[in-house]
Structure 1
Amino acid sequence: MLEERASFGSKLGMILATAGGAVGLGNVWRFPYMAGQNGGAAFILIYIGCVLLLGIPCMVSEFIIGRHGASNTYRAYSKMSHGNAWKFVGLLGVLTGYLITGYYAVVSGWCLQYIYASVAGQLHGDPSFVKSYFQSFSTDPIRPIIWLVAILLITHFVIIHGVRGGIERASKLLMPTLFVLLLVIVVASCMLPGADKGIDFLFKPDFGKVDRGLFLGALGQSFYSLSIAMGCICTYASYYTRQTNLLQSAVQISVIDSLVAILAGLMIFPAAFSVGVNPDSGPSLIFITLPNVFNQAFASMPILGWVISLLFYALLSLAALTSLMSLHEVSTAFFYEELHITRDKGAVIVTVTTIIIGAFCSLSLGQFDGLRIGDKSLFDVFDFVTGQIFLPLGGFLTCLFLGWFVPKRLVKDEFTNWGTVSGRFFGVFLFLVRFVCPLAILSIFLHQFNVI
């Protein structure tokens, strides 16, 4: 029997839960790297502009669809489109979130392993040892899968306790803890000798690097950072009340997400430059470069270095967990509502199947050459298809759907909470969703394939 639709119990819980869904590993490594290599403060300023012009309008669009539909992402699009072909945009969002859950849990599990490694003192050694440690672990056929199962079971435990008792309660604990850990590491990093070079690297504008590629990079970062088009925002919005100010909520969530990203830069660059290390991107930054940075930066105070390393991987695990919660909920809501089963059974379907997907993705990074497609591992294929095809396509179609197909009166009623909040920005919002956002997303999509 279909369960009664839940809702968030407080505005704070709603904001923290949705922000937690947006804040993830990409905030910690991708944003600092993009900013550092693309003009520092110049990139940050352009990124903020992109959040305002692209991120927030797309987020509000998903809010409107999710709250109006008051159901899983597929059914919400189906309701607003009266069952025509636009409903498949919602199905694409569910599929995207589901596939991301599987391979994202692999990297999330790595974070748990590194908490254990930090506690056990296994990350101390020369740079070659730390590099070989990561390569040995990530290609192991057993250990990564154990941690993958562990973090998905933790996520499952949160999800089966529902929206208020699970997601909202966990977010109220995890998000403040994440901020505290982040601030502690930022302070420790910025107090290191020579840390000012890292701060300058991040915040000193270099407008000589501003070009078309930088603009498109900032557009892409704003789009991916806010978890647009993977069903999370739309699903969480289905638990919003009719009193929720959608524009205000989108602004608040975007501020939290951007603040975490900028603080992550302040956490990484001062420490890296203090020991003369130029940070790389991707897993190598999180699991190879930074352990060496912490070892060198706090060489005279090894206990402090041990604590900072432990706190850092705890921070990463919390960021990964809050994202996994939102991703898992997308598919859980879909299964239990569409199959007319209980939430618990829907969560079991998602947990078991994503463990299987994650296991195959993890094995593809090792010696299992049969789990490759062309020159890409199964893990890389999932990352490419979801991140570079499904997400831009979903965002593009959502803007067209809400901007041109959904009746303007319905969109305005949701935007203004049926006339109870100001609608002075509605005209700007509609213009951005109809014209600016689709063109910007299309530019990102074509640029990554070197079409423009």
Structure 2
Amino acid sequence: MDNKVKSQEERGSWGSSFGFIMAAAGSAVGLGNLWKFPYLAGKNGGAVFVVVYLLIVVLVGFTMMLGEMIIGRKTQLDPYGAYKKLNKNWGFLGSIGILTAFLILSYYSVVGGWVIKYIISTLSGSIATDKAAYFSGFIGASVEPLIYHGIFMLLTVAIVFKGISAGIEKASKVMMPALFVMLIIVAVRSITLDGASAGLSYYLKPDFSKFNARVLVDALGQVFFSLSLGMGALITYGSYLKGDENLEKNALIIPGLDTAVALLAGFAVLPAVFAFGFEPGQGPGLMFITLPAVFEAMPLGTVFGVIFFVLVFFAALTSAISLLEVAVSYGIDQRKWSRNKAVTIFASLMFIIGIFASLSMGPMADFHIPLFNKGVFDTLDFFTSNILMPIGGFLMAIFIGYIWGVDEAVAEVRKSPGVSFKLEKFWTILIKYVVPVAIFIVLLSSLGLLDRFLGN
């Protein structure tokens, strides 16, 4: 009994429903919302992509998020322990989620370090005229990116060390509202620029002649990755919930908040990019090359540039703490480690892997991992985003729909006092039939197996 109490103390629990929602939204809101959504909207016809994206959030995002929270709260365990408790042969699926989160944070921390660097560089006005050369010169350096990678990882560790209520919840309750406020400020500035109307029109007026299979697949993939599905984060966060929490309501609110950030990011980025004549579908360079040029050309650009990169930093950090917590919960539940020991061991390993990911942008650029024929950073990104996450999400839908059983999942939602689960039939159809097919399409697309049909 003493060990059980001690383990529960190490695990912790959410202090409030608002705290959980902010933390879960923080897990979902990340760099993907702030650069990838505007870039994909820019590449895929603007408003038509937005319409398709919103539809898929309702169908896939809500369904998957509720499924992960159900498994977490039902078992009160890390992803491995959760699946194993529900079916002793399915612990492997939790292991996939833990491995995914572990590997993602290893290179995500490197990018988080880039964001810290850009806050400082924007504030000091030291970004060179040639933005592309400045960016490639920085990420290709041997030492400086590693220092920022270390700073970002230490900040993540400092929050997770303090546990659920005093660490993750407290930090999320500050960072998420601040992120919204800063994003609204930048969005208002962007849409009031001279020449912003072309960007607004592109973003808000759907031209359905631009709809094609690529728009659908890109929107499907973005919803899946944006909501942090298939990596055990929502199972882990769900495991700290008390039994009276309304899971159905939370599964609607959290994707809603994540989508609001993505849509606001579109307002912050696309009108400004159009106003200054840049290319809206530029890819990852949009954040570190195009936007610094936009802010430089904008009145009070330094102020808005700093605000923008601080909000990006908050988005990255709230995602990072959820990724680290996935591994930490496994250490506490399965290895019986103290929280401090689990955080120290996993964060140290992630930092070491991140060193190689960072160096693969410069000194180790010629080293390719044989099976993938990519550098360390790109291999980690491809393996997690294109293989592990879709497989994890697909198998979770199969597990709930056909192995553990929808009836068991529904019973867990109804367990909360006063919850009637109004969307039960809708959710049941989606988790059994729609979501597995949708994620299977994401997986095929991620592996390049649909390129012939998508006109690539």
Residue in structure 1 matched with residue 440 of structure 2 by the alignment = 442
Paired residues, what number?
442
Give the match's secondary structure for 2:362.
coil
CA contact 2:106–2:350 (8 Å) conserved in 1 = yes
Give the match's secondary structure for 2:330.
helix
- Report 1:14-413 matches (<5 A): 14-81=20-87, 83-84=88-89, 86-123=90-127, 125-126=128-129, 129-296=130-297, 298=298, 301=299, 304-369=300-365, 371-374=367-370, 375-413=373-411
Give the match's secondary structure for 2:361.
coil
| CA–CA separation in structure 2 for the residues paired with 1:280 and 1:380 | 20
CA contact 2:35–2:287 (8 Å) conserved in 1 = yes
CA contact 2:41–2:49 (8 Å) conserved in 1 = yes
Gaps of 5+ in 2: none
Following superposition, the deviation at residue 191 of structure 1 comes to: 1.3
CA contact 1:415–1:426 (8 Å) conserved in 2 = no
Give the match's secondary structure for 1:78.
helix
Q: Which amino acid aligns with 1:312?
A: F
| CA–CA separation in structure 2 for the residues paired with 1:184 and 1:386 | 33
Task: Provide the TM-score with structure 1 as the length reference.
Answer: 0.95
| CA–CA separation in structure 2 for the residues paired with 1:116 and 1:11 | 35
| CA–CA separation in structure 1 for the residues paired with 2:284 and 2:236 | 29
CA contact 1:39–1:208 (8 Å) conserved in 2 = no
Q: Which amino acid aligns with 1:56?
A: F
CA contact 1:30–1:281 (8 Å) conserved in 2 = no
Gaps of 5+ in 1: none
| CA–CA separation in structure 2 for the residues paired with 1:193 and 1:369 | 41
Residue in structure 2 matched with residue 427 of structure 1 by the alignment = 425
| CA–CA separation in structure 2 for the residues paired with 1:353 and 1:73 | 20
CA contact 2:332–2:342 (8 Å) conserved in 1 = yes
Following superposition, the deviation at residue 369 of structure 1 comes to: 4.2
Give the match's secondary structure for 2:7.
coil
CA contact 2:139–2:362 (8 Å) conserved in 1 = yes
| CA–CA separation in structure 1 for the residues paired with 2:319 and 2:282 | 20
Following superposition, the deviation at residue 370 of structure 1 comes to: 5.8
CA contact 2:399–2:405 (8 Å) conserved in 1 = no
CA deviation profile, 1:302-336 (whole Å, cap 9, x unmatched): xx111111111111111100000100100111112
Following superposition, the deviation at residue 202 of structure 1 comes to: 1.0
| CA–CA separation in structure 2 for the residues paired with 1:418 and 1:199 | 43
Task: Provide the TM-score with structure 2 as the length reference.
Answer: 0.94
Give the match's secondary structure for 1:384.
helix
CA contact 2:36–2:284 (8 Å) conserved in 1 = no
Structure 1 counterpart of 2:12, from 2, 6, 10: 6
CA contact 2:110–2:145 (8 Å) conserved in 1 = yes
CA deviation profile, 1:80-129 (whole Å, cap 9, x unmatched): 11x11x11011100000000010111111000001111122112x43xx2
Following superposition, the deviation at residue 213 of structure 1 comes to: 1.8
| CA–CA separation in structure 2 for the residues paired with 1:180 and 1:407 | 41
Distance 1:209 1:294, change over 3 A: same
CA contact 2:244–2:417 (8 Å) conserved in 1 = no
